[in-house]
Chain A
Amino acid sequence: MPSPGDSGAREQWPLWEVFVRSSRGLSHVHAGSLHAPDETMAVRNARDLYTRRNEGVSVWVVRASDITASDPDAKGAFFESPQGKDFRHAIYYTKSEGVAHL
C-alpha cells in the first residue's frame, strides 16, 4: 500500500505529517502535512505553518512514509462490522433493579 507523499517525480523533499498539541493535558492532534529535508527542519517548518496564531505548545512530526494506514477500499470489512452490535455501547444495557448509586 503506498504511503501518502510517495508519488510524484518532481517532489524532492519528503512529506511529513504534523501533530500539534494546543495546551497541556490535551493530546496531539493531526494538523496537516508539509515538506522538509529532514526532521529538524520539519519541526521548524511546522512551527511556521501550524502555530502562527498561538495554536500550540508542542509539535510532533512523523515522516509520512513511516505511517501505516488502513486501506480506504476495505471500508466494509474494517469499519462496518460493529454495526448491529449495540451491546458494545453502555446505553444498550438497562438499569438492574435494586442497584444503588447508578
Chain B
Amino acid sequence: MSVKQRQAPTGIMTPELIETEIKGGLAATDSVGQYALGLGDDALVLAQRLGEWIANGPELEEDIALGNIGLDILGHARSFLTYAGSAWGKTEDDLAYFRSEPEFRCRQLFEQPIGDFAQTIARQLIASVYFDSLYRALMHSADPTLAAIAAKATKEVDYHLDHSTQWLLRLGLGTDESALRMQRGLDAMWPFVAELYSAEPVVESAAASVASVASAASAASVAEDDRGSLEGIAVDPRALRAEFDAVVPLLIEQAGLVVPKTGSVRGGGRLGIHSEAFGPMLAEMQVLARQHPGASW
C-alpha cells in the first residue's frame, strides 16, 4: 500500500455526480456507509477548522491559501458524506448539520483548535501526510465510488502537503520566535498521531460479523449480509504508519526542530468520543442550519 503509485483518474468525481448516481440507484451498504462517514467527518471537521482562518490569516495571501486548502478538503467531505448518506437515505446536509457530538466519527486530531499559525501548519502537515498515503491506497479500493473520490482528492492533497512542508521549513529555520512556535505546534499535535493511525473500528466489526455469520450453522442459507466485510474496500490506517515515520521525522529535523516525544491521547474519535473543543466548534458549524432549516442563499 505504501508504494508511490499513481493512476490517472478516469473521471473527476464530484458530490453532484455521486448524487446523480444515487438517484439512479447507487447505495452504499451499511458498513461502507459507516466507513465513508468516518472519512467524511475527518475532512468536514478539518475544513471547518481551516475556515476559522478566513479573515484571520497572517497575510491576505496566506488567508487565501488556507481557505483554498479548506475548500478542497470540504469537497472531499461532501463526496464522502453524500455517498455515506446513500446507505440510510440521508443527504450530506442531514449528516453535517443534524447529528450531535457523539454521532460524529472524526479522529480527534482534526477537531483540535487552530492555535496559532504554526500549530495549524503542524496539524496540516500531519493530516496531509496521512491523507496522501490514505487516498493513494484508497484509489485501489474495490468500491468504485470510494476509489474515484480518492483519485480526485490525491492530487489536491499533494499540494496541501507541499504547502505545509514549505511552512514547516520556513518557520523552523526562521527566527527564534518562529522556531519556538513551530516546535510548540508540533508538540501540541503529536499526541493525536497514534489515534490517527489506529484501526478502523467499522472494519473490525464488519469482519467480526462476517466471521460469525460464516461460523453459524445456517451460514449457507444466509443471503449476502448487508454488513459485509470491508476487505479490499477500506484501507487499514495501521499499514500507513510506516510512511509517516519515514517522512515526518526527517522533515522535522530538516527544519532544525526536534521530533516530539510526547505521549498519546486515549483517542476514540471513531467511536464518538471527542475532546472538549469539539462541541463549541460544532455549535458554530450547525447553528445556521438548525435555526433556519432549509435556508439557502
Which residues does A use to contact B, with CB under 8 Å? 12-13, 34-38, 40-41, 44-45, 47-49, 52
Contacts and interface: CB of A to CB of B under 8 A. Distances in A.
B170 A37 contact: yes
Interface stretch (B58-66, B96-104, B277-285, B287-295): B58-66
A78 B183 CA distance: 55
B166 A48 contact: no
Contacts of A48: 61, 64-65, 68
Nearest to A37: B170
A40 B64 CA distance: 17
A44 B64 contact: no
B61 A36 contact: yes
B65 A45 contact: yes
Contacts of B61: 13, 34-36, 45, 48-49
A44 B161 CA distance: 12
Interface residues of B, number: 12
A62 to B, nearest CB: 16
Given A13-B59, A38-B170, A44-B166, 18 more contacts: A13-B61, A34-B61, A35-B59, A35-B60, A35-B61, A36-B61, A37-B170, A41-B166, A44-B65, A44-B162, A44-B163, A45-B62, A45-B64, A45-B65, A48-B65, A48-B68, A49-B64, A52-B68
A44 B3 CA distance: 27
Contacts of A12: 59
Contacts of A37: 170
A47 B162 CA distance: 13
- Shortest 4 CB-CB contacts between residues of A and residues of B: A45-B61, A48-B65, A48-B68, A34-B61
A12 B58 CA distance: 11
Contacts, number: 29
A55 to B, nearest CB: 15
Nearest to A52: B68
A7 B62 CA distance: 21
A41 B166 CA distance: 8
A39 B255 CA distance: 18
A52 B159 CA distance: 13
A37 B25 CA distance: 51
Interface in B157-185: 159, 162-163, 166, 170
Contacts of A40: 166
Contacts of B166: 40-41, 44
Contacts of B68: 48, 52
A32 to B, nearest CB: 12
Nearest to B65: A48
A20 to B, nearest CB: 16
Contacts of B62: 45
